[in-house]
A and B are shown apart, each in its own frame.
Chain A
Amino acid sequence: METNQYIEIFIEESQEHIENLNSNLLLLEKDPQNKGVIDEIFRSAHTLKGMAATMGFENMNKLAHKMEDVLQEVKNGKLSITSSIMDILFKSVDVLGEMLNSISQTGEDFPADDVIFLLSGIKKMPGNEEKAITYSGSLSINEYEEDIIREAYKENYKAFKITVHIDKGCMMKSARAFVIFNNLDKMGDIINSFPPVEDIEDEKFDYSFTLHFLTKEEKEKLEEMLLAIPEVERVEIEEINVTPSKEETEDTQILEAAKKTISQNKTSKSVRVDIDRLDNLMNLVSELIIIKTRLEGLEADNKNPETANAIEYLERITTSLHDAVMKVRMVPVERVFNRFPRMVRDLSHELGKKITLNMYGQETEVDRTVIDEIGDPLVHLIRNSIDHGIELPEERIKKGKPEVGTINLKAYHEGNNVIIEVSDDGRGIDIEKVKEKAIERGLYTQEQIASLSKDKIFEILFKPGFSTADKVTDISGRGVGLDVVKNKIESLNGTIEVFSEPDKGTKFVIKLPLTLAIIQALLVKVGDEKFAIPLNSISEIVHKKEDEVRNVQGKEIVLYRGRVIPIIRLNEILQTKKVESNGNLICVIIKKGENLACCTVDDLIGQQEIVIKPLGKYLSNVKVIAGATILGDGQVALIVDANNLF
């Protein structure tokens, strides 16, 4: 079969399944009895196996198959989860991921006999003999089935053990059994049966079989129903009583949470679309908005009520269309967050720390372009928290903190921004150490440092080449830390702030625009040309007199709210015609972090939502221009890159 055209889909889907496996394995580790999660893991492994086989990746197929075998045992309750089994399963998933990487790079997977060997060894492990509570010689309930029964009790279900004897003269006993199973299914849930369902289907049973059944119906009703089925000779029904477990409440919560995630996974139906096509769609919609604006302009002259109505309708449709297309481009941050639980687990094991990761707002949606870029910075911050922030358990106990450290990852919308917070309850940033290092690295002198405020000192953390880690560890402290994070976030038009209290913890707050494609901008005139300045870099617009401008060491400065800030003559930087000054200056105060500057413009046109379009590769080295936008009349206006004016 010609499979080349499917390889991308295969890789993408497999990636999703591997992510799923990872997150569900983590759930399983916390709650080894959770049948729903086991099923989900089993399904993912099964699908991976099938896909790999179809695509002809034998090694991947083999590994997934082995995993499936082990999971089948778990599913059937023949194997219970231990930490060593978890480790092997995690390892297998890692290898699957590596194989997938290798497939996307070289087109081939690789043999993984060592992991397969580990997987095959699981069954032989000591302590994994069947731990089942025997009810009768023929049918038993194992631990997790018992759990299910316990759960069901709370919802007023009753558990029955039913033995059905079929008439010896029955010709097609499997068909009869099928009818019985079907009827029972309508009244409740069959937990298990003896012989197993498969055997019953194959007629591999005598004239009777036993099953465990959950229902809200009464015993009498059951009996009546079963006896009404032809060729049922006799039915024995007894109620099963299980003692409630101690951890009941806790279990329910976890179970319910797991159920919830699983049902969510099932309901999302989706179509895969190439991002280029979405970009194209977005472009077309922008075009439509531009032409609509133009029509509105024409209509103002025309004054025909019919046209006015039609244009108003058009306006409404384009607005909804625009929103709809924007939404299509949005993806939940879950896509990025998903990899963190596993990362935290592995790193904390490695460092001997105990850490819980709480994630909130995974459903918060962000433009696809932002999502692709935000992963690495977050990895960095979380690694930092694990490595520098959270203390070792002994140290935490000594400090009177809970032994287990917490890292919170939060995402939420705020206006036109998305906020992502990474916080920990670790030791916090050691200000003295930061000062020390800053002097050591020659970034500041002793005197300079002394005069800096706490916030300013935290800012030093973002300077290139700065790291407070004494030892360079594998995890962080290689000196390529926070400055890279900051650059990345600023390149996305975002900001990052840090808050920290000694022994209480550290919090990083990242603020990102919802989308990079459409922004609010201030349209201004410089000379006789129109330019757009992104609103998020403007702090205020003020009027100044030409004679308030001072000249200090060849640089023009002006006093603004008690601060001395530089003047940037936009007409010089943008090389426009100089307009005769009447002594008044229109100043757009722009900000970059803490820094302010005063940009002089010749006229203000107004605020407008603009669609950012790149200038193209040929002009990619023009620093002061961030891109271009098309105005309502089809004219192109350039977008000033305020960050590059400083």
Chain B
Amino acid sequence: MSLFVVAKIEDEEYAIGIEKVQTIEKILPITRVPQTENYVKGVINLRGEIIPVISLRLKLGLPEKEYDEDTRIVVLKDYDMAVGLIVDNANEVVEIREEDIDRLSFSEGEEEYSKFVSTVGKIKDRVLLILDLNKLLGVGM
């Protein structure tokens, strides 16, 4: 049994292992950082700590959407690295049982998200795409 934070992009639900989530924040002022990939939106001041934020939408190859009341920054933190993930919405924590997690079986390159998702979790008739953070951030996390 594991706990996951549910982050929404459009109608798709992504699950992020709760042990990597430090905090979930409403959108904060973002300072742009030059010479970075397009999905890197910049850095935020999270109570005195500078944290890079990336847009999950852009990372997944989706068009950008204006930030609104529901927009959230999910701050992921491991011992020496922190990154904020901008998502459309994140207001739920779910439990997924071990036996309800399956490996994804579509072929490589079919969908942009397949690069960052290798397992899915099921809760009744909901299907959640579990984000593989190592792949998403391209570094050990």
Which residue numbers of A lie inside 8 Å of B, CB to CB?
283-284, 286-287, 290, 529, 573-576, 613-619, 622-625, 627-628, 630, 634-638
A529 proximity list for chain B (CB < 8 A): 31-32
Return chain A residues, CB-CB under 8 Å to B50.
Answer: 613-616, 627-628, 630, 636
Indicate whether A615 sits within 8 Å of B34 (C-beta atoms), given known contacts A287-B47, A290-B48, A635-B45: no
Complex-state Cα separation, A576 to B35, whole angstroms: 11
A624 near B35: Cβ-Cβ < 8 Å: yes
The verdict on B40 contacting chain A, using a C-beta distance below 8 Å, is yes
B83 contacts A by Cβ under 8 Å:
yes
Query: Do B40 and A573 touch (CB < 8 A)?
Result: no
Chain B: minimal CB distance from A126 (Å): 60
A628-B43 CB under 8 A given contacts A290-B48, A616-B51, A618-B139: yes
With the chains together, A630 CA to B44 CA distance in Å? 10
**Which residue of the partner chain, among B44, B81, B82, contacts A636 with CB atoms under 8 Å?**
B44
- B48 with A625: CB separation less than 8 A: no
Q: Is residue B29 within 8 Å, beta carbon to beta carbon, of the partner chain?
A: yes
Known: A613-B50, A630-B45, A636-B44. A618 touches B31 (CB 8 A): no
Closest CB in chain B relative to A294 CB, distance in Å: 12
Q: Is the CB of B33 closer than 8 A to any CB of chain A?
A: yes
Are B29 and A635 in contact (CB-based, < 8 A)?
yes
Expressed in whole angstroms, the Cα–Cα distance for A491 and B32 within the complex equals 25
Question: What are 7 residue pairs bridging A and B, where the CB atoms are less than 8 Å apart in the complex?
Answer: A529-B32, A574-B34, A613-B49, A616-B51, A616-B82, A618-B137, A625-B34
A349 to B22, CA, bound (A): 58
Is B40 touching A617 in the complex (CB atoms < 8 A)?
Answer: no
Known: A290-B48, A618-B139, A630-B45. A638 touches B35 (CB 8 A): no
Check A638–B31 contact: CB distance below 8 A: yes
- Within 8 Å CB of A614, what residues of B? 50
Q: Give every chain A residue within 8 A of B49 (Cβ-Cβ).
A: 283, 613
Q: Which residues of A contact B80 (CB under 8 A)?
A: 617
Tell me whether B121 is interfacial, beta carbon within 8 Å. Answer: no
> How far apart are B73's CB and chain A's nearest CB, in angstroms?
14
Contact with A along B11-39 (1 / 0, CB 8 A): 00000000000000000010111111000
Q: Which residues of A contact B139 (CB under 8 A)?
A: 617-618
Give every chain A residue within 8 A of B33 (Cβ-Cβ).
615, 619, 622, 625, 638
Separation of A628 and B81 alpha carbons in the complex (Å): 16
- Asked if B36 and A619 make an inter-chain contact with CB atoms under 8 angstroms apart, the answer reads yes
Check A637 against B31 for contact (C-beta < 8 Å). yes
Q: How far is the CA of A283 from the CA of B50 in the complex (A)?
A: 11
Using CB atoms, name the residue of chain A closest to B137.
A618
Per a CB cutoff under 8 Å, which of B35, B43, B45 touches A575? B35
Q: Are B48 and A286 in contact (CB under 8 A)?
A: yes
For A636, list chain B residues within 8 Å (CB): 29, 31, 43-45, 50
Interface 0/1 of B83-100, CB less than 8 Å to A: 100000000000000000
Q: Decide if A615 touches B52 in the complex (CB within 8 Å).
A: yes
Which of B34, B44, B80, B81 is packed against the most chain A CB atoms within 10 Å? B34
B81 contacts A615, CB within 8 Å?
no
C-alpha gap A391/B76 in the complex (Å):
60
Q: Are A616 and B81 in contact (CB under 8 A)?
A: yes
Contact B43 A624 (CB under 8 A): no
Residues of A within 8 A of B45 (CB): 630, 634-636
- B83: chain A residues within 8 A (beta carbon): 616, 618
Contacts A616-B51, A616-B83, A622-B34 given; 18 further ones with Cβ under 8 A? A290-B48, A575-B35, A613-B49, A615-B33, A615-B43, A616-B43, A616-B81, A618-B52, A618-B81, A618-B82, A618-B83, A622-B33, A622-B35, A630-B48, A635-B29, A635-B45, A636-B43, A636-B45
List of A residues within 8 angstroms of B48 by Cβ:
283-284, 286-287, 290, 630
Docked Cα-Cα span, A619 to B40, in Å, equals: 9
The CA of A637 and the CA of B45, in the complex, are separated in Å by 10
Identify the closest chain B residue to A623 (Cβ).
B35
CA distance A287 to B35 in the complex (A): 28
Contact, CB under 8 Å: B52 / A624: no
Q: Which residue of B lies closest to A627 (CB)?
A: B50
Closest to B78 in A: A617
